[in-house]
Copies of this chain bind each other. A is one copy, B any other.
Amino acid sequence: MPLTVCAISGSLRRASFNTALLRAAVELAPADVEIRIFDGLRDLPHYDADLDGPNPPAPVVALKDAITSADALLIATPEYNYSIPGALKNAIDWASRPAGKSPLNRKPAAILGASTGLMGTVRAQLALRQSLLFTETYVLMKPEIMVTRAADKFDADGRLIDETTRGLVRQLLEALSTWTARMRT
């Protein structure tokens, strides 16, 4: 049975390495895994409990539907200020509502990240795991993919050309596939 994955990039800039990493995932996915990149983070208002309720803003509905209709999540995050970007956190804040009935609850997920520096988003990924503990999102533990010196690993068109990293992305997707089968039982 095919697996559908909702992929979210924490970066909004056009030439983002993290979004490029998700495009690489689409390309490298096993035959029975379909990855759909959700592109609506920019449209979300900042979370405000006064806007939350049974009829949330349309971009929030779109986000929740994208997560609900997928079997699993794949999140690529840059690291801003030793954590995840505000825009990505804001998406999690909306998706986490209402507490206990969120589309994030018990949803299998995998995370990865790319940076131009040497640390490869290690701090951001730990921060993301902490938020996804609150939502009881089943985040795959291994492999952890931290793409360092990203400028050397993508070509001018944003295609992932580093073979080691391509292999890791393949491994992650295979592990996510197995993990999802296990966690959805």
Give the oligomeric copy count.
4
Q: With A41-B46, A46-B42, A136-B141 as given contacts, are A130 and B93 in contact (CB-CB < 8 Å)?
A: no
Which single member of B48, B83, B132, B138 contacts A130 (CB below 8 Å)?
Answer: B83
CA distance A81 to B126 in the complex (A): 13
Q: Mark A22-56, 1 if CB is under 8 A from B, else 0.
A: 00000000000000000001101011111000000
- Whether B96 pairs with A48 at a CB distance below 8 angstroms is no
A102-122 CB contacts (< 8 Å) to partner B: 118-120, 122
- Whether B80 pairs with A47 at a CB distance below 8 angstroms is yes
- Whether B130 pairs with A47 at a CB distance below 8 angstroms is no
CA distance A92 to B82 in the complex (A): 11
Inside 8 A of A44's CB, which chain B residues have their CB? 46
Of all chain B residues, the one with the shortest Cβ separation from A100 is B142
Q: With an 8 A cutoff between CB atoms, is A129 at the interface?
A: yes
Return 24 A-B CB contacts under 8 Å, by A number: A12-B48, A13-B48, A14-B50, A42-B48, A46-B86, A46-B87, A47-B85, A80-B89, A81-B96, A83-B127, A83-B131, A86-B88, A86-B89, A86-B92, A87-B90, A89-B89, A90-B90, A118-B148, A122-B123, A123-B123, A127-B130, A136-B142, A138-B141, A182-B185
